Chains A and B, each alone.
Chain A
């Protein structure tokens, strides 16, 4: 029963994600043909359609797929971990930590001897790791389950603190650095090549691998920690795995494309409206639908005001903001 439902939902959402990956590169200010792009009889240097498809647009579409997928799945895990359907992957300060790292690299990277951390993606990853470590240390005690209340409060406080530091660094930045910072904070899927995707992929795969082990335990955890423990869940281990994997997925996504908001809350809730609340279905369905969702948002960002591009974070916020408010009203 569950198996058949899981299979049909995975096939459906998998086809949607795959279709989005294949069709999205065809859309844009320059019209291209899929048949011509895939035509191997034309040498690649002479095949403009193939160059646009594979070099200009495919890395961006794959970035959207990976970022959308990981943020949506991380949102599901974070909501179950905190027992709060309104939590997002950014609730615990991971993204603000990443943003602080990125802003520091943009502002001081060329002036200070910080080696590889001068690279914005690496600096943002380091910032995310530092933020996660701080929240984790504050919320855990040896041999005890994580205090989700402390986790939440520490995350919210850290978000506010890091935001203040970002403002301070921006105050010290020159005009160009401030502009780059603002653009980074808006989120940008145009990574330019496959290299950043390949660099982020190991982290994403580790996180997704851990996600795959969690769904049934997340069901029980979202009913209550004590209840989960008496049903046979190792609550401390499940909480740590959920925190670690969701933080890792968020860190990888943010270091790749900046903090793109609302994906991690809109997608899980849309999926729950469509397929119910069982995490064995919600988690993989959110990951697949998240990929299609962000590809779709990016398509709007690229084409709505063409040839001008709207930052994708603006599109997700304009779709996600009203949806989030509707959820709040619906819950109350």
Chain B
């Protein structure tokens, strides 16, 4: 279980996250919603240990993240950024093998077991056929699946994703969404997914955390949290929120901008 306890954080530029407490149950798939600048990415960075809270603490089970080394932490928590732009033209296999870094000692090279795990991760994300391709030559959807494969190769219990479908077309959005659902179901990976896509969150996530202005607005089961009221509070938009029989989940249709 991953838990933030009364966490606060501030950037020099002025943005602050104030007294945030969230609990991410083991094996859950939790959505993190909120308008631009609400603190979703900052909260994800705090949950991954990349940022250290100014006050409060983040706990993984019964251990505070600040008591763990970066390498140790990376064996438990992996992250997938919105976009990844390497400075050099690595191959897909090289990108995925980078996920093995926290499991290797300082001068150790990847062995057969590491290659096996990397191939498994490529299989799980349907990207095995891209293994020898250069990462920079891939489409947006392929790149995102490769980055998820690299995170899977880290063999962690927790996966934090920051708007993983933001730059993808509808087909790739659905590909990535079904991939995440399958990984959560089959591998029991605990996931936190920050997204602006309310329908994606509704289709994937059993729980939602809703943020605004650096604070938690509300949190709970998706059916209870994702309502017209919530959408109005978050975005000043009137929306039609209904259960869609064919899709099997709540859908959100924006109707108009509130005056």
Contact = CB atoms under 8 A, between A and B. Distances in A.
Contact of A226 (B45, B78, B89, B107): B45
B77 A2 contact: no
Given A2-B109, A224-B81, A230 B87 contact: no
A135 interface: no
Given A224-B84, A227-B84, A232-B73, A3 B90 contact: no
Contacts of B99: 231
Given A2-B109, A223-B98, A229 B50 contact: yes
Nearest to B48: A230
Contacts of B89: 277
A237 to B, nearest CB: 9
B154 A85 contact: no
B101 A216 contact: yes
A227 B79 contact: yes
Contact of B101 (A2, A83, A213, A220): A220
Query: Considering residues B48, B104, B109, which has the most beta carbons from chain A within 10 angstroms of its beta carbon?
Result: B109
Contacts, number: 84
Nearest to A87: B87
A222 B154 contact: no
A277 to B, nearest CB: 4
Interface in B49-90: 49-50, 52, 69-75, 77-79, 81, 84-90
B88 A6 contact: no
Query: What band does the interface of chain B fall in when counting residues whose beta carbon is under 8 Å from A?
Result: 35 or more
Interface string A80-116: 1001110000000000000000000000000000000
A93 B90 CA distance: 29
Contacts of A84: 87
Contacts of B86: 222-224
Nearest to A222: B87
Contact of A223 (B48, B95, B106, B160): B95
A2 B115 CA distance: 11
B87 A219 contact: no
A1 B115 contact: yes
B114 to A, nearest CB: 10
B94 interface: yes
Contact of B102 (A83, A143, A213, A232): A232
A223 B89 CA distance: 10
A79 interface: yes
B169 interface: no
Interface in A1-58: 1-3, 6
A309 interface: no
Contacts of B107: 213
A280 interface: yes
A226 B81 contact: yes
Contact of A230 (B79, B88, B106): B79
Given A227-B84, A276-B91, A3 B98 contact: no
Interface string A237-277: 00000000000000000000000000000000000100011
A218 B76 CA distance: 22
Given A219-B90, A222-B88, A226-B45, A2 B81 contact: no
Contacts of B224: none
Nearest to A219: B98
Nearest to A3: B109
Interface in A184-241: 213, 216, 219-220, 222-224, 226-227, 229-234
B123 interface: no
A83 B87 contact: yes
A322 B85 CA distance: 27
A276 B95 CA distance: 13
* 9 closest Cβ pairs, A-B complex: A232-B74, A232-B102, A230-B79, A277-B88, A232-B71, A83-B87, A222-B87, A223-B86, A2-B109
5 contacts: A1-B115, A222-B88, A223-B87, A224-B86, A234-B70
Interface of A: 1-3, 6, 79-80, 83-85, 143, 213, 216, 219-220, 222-224, 226-227, 229-234, 272, 276-278, 280
Given A6-B109, A230-B160, A277-B88, 7 more contacts: A83-B87, A213-B106, A213-B107, A224-B81, A226-B50, A229-B48, A232-B73
